Chains A and B, each alone.
Chain A
């Protein structure tokens, strides 16, 4: 089940966020241990992005607490959350269109965590480092308008990593990539993780959840439906009912069998 809460780097206790009368996030408790890669999955509208928005300070939870390295960050302004070492990407990437790839990455450092904000010169040094990490070094001087979709996603990750986070929140950075592009993106996530960053990611692509996550948490209607090792969670009958569907579950089992025989 979950990592011992004593060692939790991020801990949510009964977090609730309502819009009008609807609880988009409804009493969610979860813990993420330092160095983990945890995946959040669940139906569209289950509250995954809202939960990320609560953690990163975009929304103030209506109830519950969010504790980061032991202190409460619930309701804290997003820039302060970023300074404390929580970086994030957005589902719809919005790079600064008139800037180069390198300048976009440097922005992350300039407005990032306390470790990143060391002035413009240091920001460009960090930008160069993270662009190498995500595989965009060769395109550092390109205008962002010239980037393909997979590269835009890489840049979105680079901007977040440039904030020097201890925890990186990734919101569907692999949507719209094909299997081979996903495998390349997984390498990127592993590379970032290897620098000591904890990762909490939202994805609908099971190749990602199975390929890189230590644990998966399933949200449905704002609540935690299931949690555990990805392979186990994806075989959970409730998860198949609510999220995967019978046919997908069957394909997943079949492709697993194929992987093993290849």
Chain B
């Protein structure tokens, strides 16, 4: 497996769930600096719950989450954002009656440095379609543009790891391909990416490595190309 000695993110033996309902069982997962990782699996497999734990929204009942060697298990969301984890949630979750610009700036809410403006310019370089829409209410944008705002908001936190839940949800095929291109750019610029994706073909096409979740367990992991060629994956997720 291609993982540097000290990964950016290491999840070890993670168990988590809601109230008394366990969802994740003994998850082991690593993300190296500037890796592009896909997490795939059926609905209900625990993918979004995993992202919830990694951004401090869902409590781990046991196991550890370490960032750059430091134990961050059950740290508060804002501490995780400060350490470089940004979460683009499923369904975008924008503030619909606030302007695009304000939505983007909210991503930088915790930052006190002077480079927020530079990052805003970079986000608009990634998503030029947003340039003349900064003053529009986010809720009036098309689905594709809203996803751009959601990703941009994540980038405004200047993350080391950007986690994107269901990039392709409800978007036109052409827009999905355009957003995937931006994901590649962001990754090339040095940000690690964790993509949770229902469109397994797209995810395995863009990722370096992939994890397959089934009923809250990692049942397969490896190079994306190997995972794509796995007969079980082809049958269960690709419908081939």
Seen from chain A, the residues whose Cβ lies within 8 Å of a Cβ on chain B are 42-45, 91, 148-150, 172, 175-183, 204, 206-207, 242-245, 247-248, 251, 258, 262
Interface segment out of the listed B4-12, B71-79, B120-128, B231-239: B231-239
Query: Quick one: closest B residue to A149, CB to CB?
Result: B43
Contacts of A206 in B (CB 8 A): 173
Query: Quick one: closest B residue to A262, CB to CB?
Result: B240
Interface segment out of the listed B62-70, B109-117, B174-182: B174-182
Q: Is B35 located at the chain interface by the 8 A CB criterion? A: no
B185-221 at interface with A (beta carbon < 8 Å): 198-201
| Chain B: minimal CB distance from A136 (Å) | 15
Contacts of B177 in A (CB 8 A): 245, 247-248
Count of CB-CB pairs between chains A and B under 8 Å: 83
For the complex, give the distance between the alpha carbons of A245 and B178 in Å: 9
The answer to whether B142 touches A43 (Cβ under 8 A) is: yes
Size of the B side of the interface (Cβ < 8 Å), in residues, is 30
The answer to whether A179 touches B237 (Cβ under 8 A) is: yes
The answer to whether A244 touches B169 (Cβ under 8 A) is: no
Contacts of B42 in A (CB 8 A): 178, 180-181
Contacts of B142 in A (CB 8 A): 43-45
Contacts of A91 in B (CB 8 A): 170
| Chain B: minimal CB distance from A51 (Å) | 15
Contacts of A45 in B (CB 8 A): 141-145
With A176-B198, A180-B236, A247-B177 known as contacts, the answer to whether A149 contacts B171 (CB < 8 A) is no
Query: Quick one: closest A residue to B172, CB to CB?
Result: A43
Q: Is B166 located at the chain interface by the 8 A CB criterion? A: yes
The answer to whether B43 touches A204 (Cβ under 8 A) is: no
Q: Is B44 located at the chain interface by the 8 A CB criterion? A: yes
